[in-house]
Amino acid sequence: MPRTHILALDQGTTSSRAVVFDQEGRAVASSQREFPQHYPRPGWVEHDPLAIWASQWSTAIETLGKADLLPADIAAIGITNQRETTLLWERETGKPVYPAIVWQDRRTADFCASLKAEGVEDLFTRKTGLRLDPYFSATKIRWILDHVDGSRKLAEQGKLMFGTVDTWLLWRLSGRTVHATDATNASRTLLYDIHRGDWDDELLEILEIPRSILPEVKDSSGIFGESSEGIPISGIAGDQHAALFGQGCFSSGMAKNTYGTGCFMLMNTGSEAVASQNNLLTTIAWRIGGKTEYALEGSVFVGGAVVQWLRDELQLIRTAEECNALAATVPDSGGLYLVPAFTGLGAPHWDPYARGAAFGMTRGTNRAHFCRAALESIAFQSAELAECMVKDSGIPLKELRVDGGAVRSDLLMQFQADLLGVNVIRPKDVESTAAGAAYLAGLGVGFWEGKEELARHHEIDREFHPSRPRQEMEQLEAGWRRAVERAKAWES
């Protein structure tokens, strides 16, 4: 019997999802499961690696059941994942030596500052396209080796394995036989030379990380191994790279923004690795057939997570839908600016010592204003990224393709279009991340012939056109910049 579907595993920061796609690129079934977030100290964020695996595996089983499919019906598995999150486990037992340190975690801020003081940041940036920031994996690895008893000795003896979440899932899916990652995830570690396409011994030496713990780096599309059921695992990409691929941004100059826990804007720059002059990152978009394509990226640490904060911590709302409905009951935020720098600020500020703040409150400020200001904060942060991207690339932004859970908010998407002054295009399937993983996996086994076929799968749900005067939006942006400046360097 022919294998008729692709299974995409989408392991995110707050939940794991599985989606089954058919030959036409349509999602035919999906399931999702949240898992616990742990905050042992201010600025620290951790996950249980076994909870990540259990939640992802259970969604895969559930999704196949919903689709009435058997493993024999699945042509390939694709994996996409929260990036930079760092896991170390014992090679022999598979036991994690410490909880997964999440990409949002800020515990290595002081170490990053000390490395900058030593004058090595330019070296890291030149080789990796990244900055010395706690966001990335390398300083998290170093922290575990320095603070978990016995871990450095295990690492030096070759008995420890490092992986981002994709590597952990691949290792488990393959029956603990394949220790590998793809070029996109490798490019987010601060240890991978994106120009040579290899782990860098000089950077490893500076950070005192043994090369033996690192996974093999492969193309984003191609056979990594097989699951215990004999299904090829043939596509892997970090979530933002998968979303860029899933949105069909195959040509230089095309851009997308994903509105998830954080916000991540990527612009395809083709075969050129553009060095940013505006505090963006240069990263690998994907590597297929041995050919590397690059992207400029801007990262917002707290995007949709600000709505979770309103729900879980302040308890102002019960659901994300309620936030959107309340925000729509007021014409504007009433002068309120909410800067959600709960774990510092990402691009273009790169301030790990910034903290969340609300400015402009009056006696009349109510929870509807907080909801609106929260949604607007997502758009303000994204607009900053777009401005830097245009300056770096020299390419005017003609449109912005969007995806992620928060794009279901018409209010947010319209405000984003008004801020950018260009059309914002929302696809019918807003879960482009899973689609990208499926596309990469399908290409890896010949399920689809090429990018041209995949581009035909991209269907538009709605375009949001700018509707407010430019002068009005510039005044709002000026207020946002004032608020951000006041939130900076709070912890220092």
Mark the binding-site residues for ATP, compressed into ranges: 13-15, 261, 304, 308, 405
In contact, 8 and 80? CB cutoff 8 Å:
yes
DSSP per residue, 314-378: S---SSHHHHHHHHTTSSS-TT-EEE--BTBB-TTT-BTT---EEE---TT--HHHHHHHHHHHH
Tell how strand 255-259 and strand 399-403 pair up. parallel
Which residues carry a binding-site annotation for glycerol?
Answer: 83-84, 135, 239-240
d(CA 163, CA 171): 9
Cis status, amide bond into 340, omega within 30 of 0: no
d(CA 163, CA 151): 15
Tell me how long the chain is: 492
In contact, 277 and 320? CB cutoff 8 Å:
no
Which residues carry a binding-site annotation for ADP?
Answer: 13, 17, 261, 304, 405
Long-range contacts: 153-159, Cβ < 8 Å, 24+? 154/90, 154/97, 155/88, 155/209, 155/210, 155/212, 155/213, 156/210, 156/212, 158/91, 158/210, 158/212, 158/213, 159/90, 159/91, 159/92
d(CA 191, CA 477): 36
Structure token digits, residue 234: 């043939």
Which residues carry a binding-site annotation?
Answer: 13-15, 17, 83-84, 135, 239-240, 261, 304, 308, 405
Which residues carry a binding-site annotation for sn-glycerol 3-phosphate?
Answer: 13, 83-84, 135, 239
Structure token digits, residue 345: 């600020």
Three-class SS state of 264: strand
d(CA 381, CA 387): 10
Place of tokens 């340190």: 101
